[in-house]
Chains A and B, each alone.
Chain A
């Protein structure tokens, strides 16, 4: 009871100092809860969507994939007769043949892509009664002939389309021009897919390439007939279980969601990872706050002990304070997390992924997880300071306040730190030495973790050395004030170390990723310079295959010396050693080696483009002991089985087309029927000498009608690559900013508490003539030194990690190490500003301190 009371009073008495720690807990918990709410809401949205779009029972061809764009641009289909067959089954109220394809692009009359640019699909199909479960026609009517189309209301609104406007659906069999006859609105949340409905005959002919076929049959049950029951009876009626795939509504919805699931999971775990980093940094802040509070209260605690409090009671009173802090921070954090999730949803809306707050899902586990994490982490972090409080002797009440230096623990600490850092360094070094990437990543992970912990442990010792060096380099410029700041930063190395370490973690990750990122750009650029001979590259923005009409348009461009088709075919390979493997074979024109120069380990790559010949990658060849002249059995998924002779083995020491197996397009054509032949995944074109500029312009204009493809010359391609990696890094930096914000709060907290601790000194200095301005500068400089210390350690550590990672990834083609010095230097200088910023309030408050209060010795 008394413990509770003292804790409560202490907590309230120090609420200002607790506030920053509470903010750290709040931010970390908010990030966790925000992530959970956001991903749960996405799940709910998709659940509702797929539940609404799936029929009671769906019958589709066995080979149909849920979302994969079919190789040849035409989804698997089943004959129209199945519809009638199913309709006759007992318990079936209605069976509708449906067409649906995602291998389409929808453009308006000005050739603008109407599809989502966030990765959501464009779906074309016929309008069936089943669609009424998720949509309603808000104006006009469903398409009644080949010249009519209906689009979804979101797309219409986004692109200002109304009835009568012309849209063009680009499918693999050709373009479908139609006028908008109707607009249908989703009755559930549609997170961004563009939908176009065509009349059934057009859809069959143009999307599936044949009349009287459907992609699936939507079966509606009679009242009282369960989905599972219905599925059974339909299956029985259809016979051949190998030919069809039957799914109840739930199964179909689950299958659809599974295809989204991995994307959602990756997002969730990535964000939780960043929340974890923020938590880690928050721990430092909490440890530091409690350490300082305990140190300041040494006399008070000594008095408590002297008048009879037990060690346990003192210990417990500190922990109870931690629990209070954890509760306050976590409760606020959970609330902030929900706000964050709503903010994220709005943000997703701004980039085209519509989520409705109506679907906001807060599972009971979310607040429980948030509270539990926040409280447990806070209490764990406060444990060491609490133990230290328990160890305060009653004599402390009589002694002058002051933290006695414990030299022995310093040595033990140094020993442990050095061992850990050494282990980490060894791990990082080992990672650069291995031959197998998987083995290396283990060493790398171990190295990163050990060196991080090592640096944290050794931080207080490094603080002494680093601050002295910084003192010589930076602080001496500021004369005596600089010296005072240096001494203050050195006064309690453990505190400086812990405060700096918090910043170190975030910056180490920034440095590591920026090294890996720029090495990726540099390696790829280097590789492209070495290997890419082509002038122009044509590929889709969204990963779709190039439709034949676009490929034809490219072929007719004047000034082009040659065009290379490049297709990827799934195949099952049987190797000479008897093993089999599911692989992808690249079918390209013989001009391809000019477009992309490849090193060969054995054989002649040109011969691989001969009839019934192929090449394999060196890794695959080594694994299956394949030599030039061996014959592989290649069973094309879309065609028959061929025996192909290995004419070349290409080196896998590359990042472009690594491991690709090449055959000539004509070889593929002999074994795969024309209508099953996949479209081009990418195309290359070389201009005639001296006509590069004209050819580039002509190529671009030839594809004006196909906005889903982009034409790039080598410079564009490199720039694009750089931008993509840059964007990815920016997102990661943005998420790491959270950890850095928490670290900055830590610097603010340390300074604020130091200023309070040094009230007397500050008063003395003011009395003997230190001006306010000098005093503020002194505190700012101390802050800058702490920040630079953290930055130096973090950037150093991060560059070590990044370099090690690059050496490891060199096995995967990341051959060039590039340390982005401008970025590193910018971060270093920026951290000095972070220090200045963190010192704003503490310095202001120190300046405002009353000189007399500060020096008064008696009342």
Chain B
């Protein structure tokens, strides 16, 4: 079940490949024998640099597992995953941790921030852990972009859900990772706050050239992406470029209907 994936060569900058992350024949299975469950079934996917990619699919389709594998949080049963030129499948925990710290940014649905640190400390945490000094000008720009300049000294408990997620976005951007993974980053937000966060993500792609991969089941969220990948039963079954919310919703309904009839 391989989708034709274009490997565009345009927009290649600074000697870096245009593909930020690449999965080849990735299989992720749990259990063995009778109880074997295949979460990812020979998935091939290329994440294009400088694009906003959304991964959609019903519950249990394997969309979160795919993201976890791409981000080096989970191991694969077989297949290869590359982050730029680095093969991350088979890396030891120590190397993987370093890779996540230095080259990947994360935005989770909830529990994104450490309650003991204030907003600014949370934003610079990955760099602090790595022992790197944040680039002050860049940090200021990021903070301004997400509109948090006034609230940097606040603890997470003093921030609203939307503000917390914006801090998480700022943290992901601040270290200038090669790629940011979002796991339902707006799942816990009301539509207004969600829209805010999504437009930040969009802007960071447009204005800062950031690469973003986001798992979501919300068609509206997916409509912010350049490209939507549809997962079902562990395989990529379709993709859509420059989607609108209506198109995504229609496609989803389509899958749902097919799922029921088959």
Contact = CB atoms under 8 A, between A and B. Distances in A.
Nearest to B187: A857
A771 B73 contact: no
A487 B129 contact: no
A855 B74 CA distance: 12
Contacts of B157: 402
A852 B74 contact: yes
A768 B116 contact: no
A765 B184 CA distance: 18
Contacts of B130: 769
Count class of interface residues, chain A? 20 to 34
Contacts of B190: none
Contacts of A490: 116
Interface string B183-223: 11001000000000000000000000000000000000000
B94 A772 contact: yes
A761 interface: yes
B125 interface: yes
A198 B114 CA distance: 85
Contacts of A761: 111, 114-115
Contacts of A851: 73
Given A768-B101, A769-B97, A774 B106 contact: no
B224 interface: no
A770 B129 contact: yes
Contacts of B128: 479-480, 483
Nearest to B112: A764
Contacts of A484: 114, 116-117
A480 B183 CA distance: 26
B94 A771 contact: yes
Given A761-B114, A769-B129, A857 B98 contact: no
Contacts of A772: 93-94, 97
B108 A491 contact: no
B42 interface: no
Contact of A857 (B94, B108, B117, B125): B108
A722 interface: no
A112 interface: no
Interface string B63-90: 0100010010110000000000000000
A852 B64 CA distance: 11
Given A764-B111, A769-B129, A774-B129, A491 B106 contact: no
Given A480-B129, A487-B117, A768 B109 contact: no
Most buried by A among B101, B116, B131: B116
A766 B59 CA distance: 25
B171 interface: yes
B29 interface: no
Contacts of B74: 852
A760 B94 CA distance: 20
Contacts of B121: 483
A540 interface: no
A769 B108 contact: no
Interface string A750-780: 0000000000110011111111101000000
Contact of B97 (A487, A770, A855, A858): A770
Most buried by A among B101, B104, B105, B121: B101
Nearest to B94: A771
Given A771-B97, A852-B73, A855-B111, A488 B125 contact: no
B108 A487 contact: no
B50 interface: no
B126 interface: yes
A767 B100 contact: yes
B102 interface: yes
Contacts of B126: 768-769
B57 to A, nearest CB: 13
Interface string A478-494: 01110110011011000
Contacts of A764: 108, 111-114
Contacts of A768: 100-101, 105-106, 125-126, 129, 171
Contacts of B152: none
A852 B73 CA distance: 7
A821 B170 CA distance: 50
B243 to A, nearest CB: 24
Contacts of A852: 68, 73-74
Contacts of B116: 484, 487-488, 490-491
B38 interface: no
Contacts of B113: 764
Most buried by A among B59, B98, B113, B126: B126
B110 interface: yes
Contacts of B104: 769
Nearest to B68: A852
Contacts of A766: 97
Contacts of A857: 108-111, 183-184, 187
Contacts of B106: 767-768
B198 to A, nearest CB: 18
A785 to B, nearest CB: 13
A223 B250 CA distance: 115
Contacts of B183: 857
A849 to B, nearest CB: 12
Interface in B107-166: 108-117, 121, 125-126, 128-131, 157
B74 to A, nearest CB: 6
B259 to A, nearest CB: 19
Contacts of B71: 767
Nearest to B118: A487
Contact of A769 (B102, B111, B112, B114): B102
Nearest to B99: A769
A844 to B, nearest CB: 14
Interface string B17-34: 000000000000000000
A308 to B, nearest CB: 30
Interface string B42-66: 0000000000000000010000100
A481 B108 CA distance: 22
A480 B121 CA distance: 9
A765 B187 CA distance: 21
Nearest to A856: B64
B24 to A, nearest CB: 22
A479 B132 CA distance: 11
A769 B98 CA distance: 6
A480 B128 CA distance: 6
Given A774-B129, A851-B73, A852-B74, A765 B114 contact: yes
A770 B100 CA distance: 9
A771 B129 CA distance: 9
A440 B112 CA distance: 59
A225 B32 CA distance: 89
Nearest to B109: A857
Contacts of B125: 480, 765, 768
A542 to B, nearest CB: 63
Most buried by B among A479, A769, A774, A858: A769
Interface in A495-549: none
A769 B103 CA distance: 10
Nearest to A400: B110
B98 A771 contact: yes
Contacts of A770: 97, 101, 129
Interface of B: 59, 64, 68, 71, 73-74, 93-94, 97-98, 100-102, 104-106, 108-117, 121, 125-126, 128-131, 157, 171, 183-184, 187
16 contacts: A402-B157, A479-B128, A483-B121, A487-B117, A490-B116, A764-B108, A764-B112, A767-B100, A767-B106, A768-B101, A768-B129, A768-B171, A770-B129, A772-B93, A857-B109, A858-B64
Interface of A: 402, 479-481, 483-484, 487-488, 490-491, 760-761, 764-772, 774, 851-852, 855, 857-858
Given A483-B121, A764-B111, A857-B109, 4 more contacts: A487-B116, A764-B113, A769-B101, A852-B74
> What are the 4 closest A-B residue pairs judged by CB atoms, nearest first?
A769-B101, A487-B116, A480-B128, A760-B111
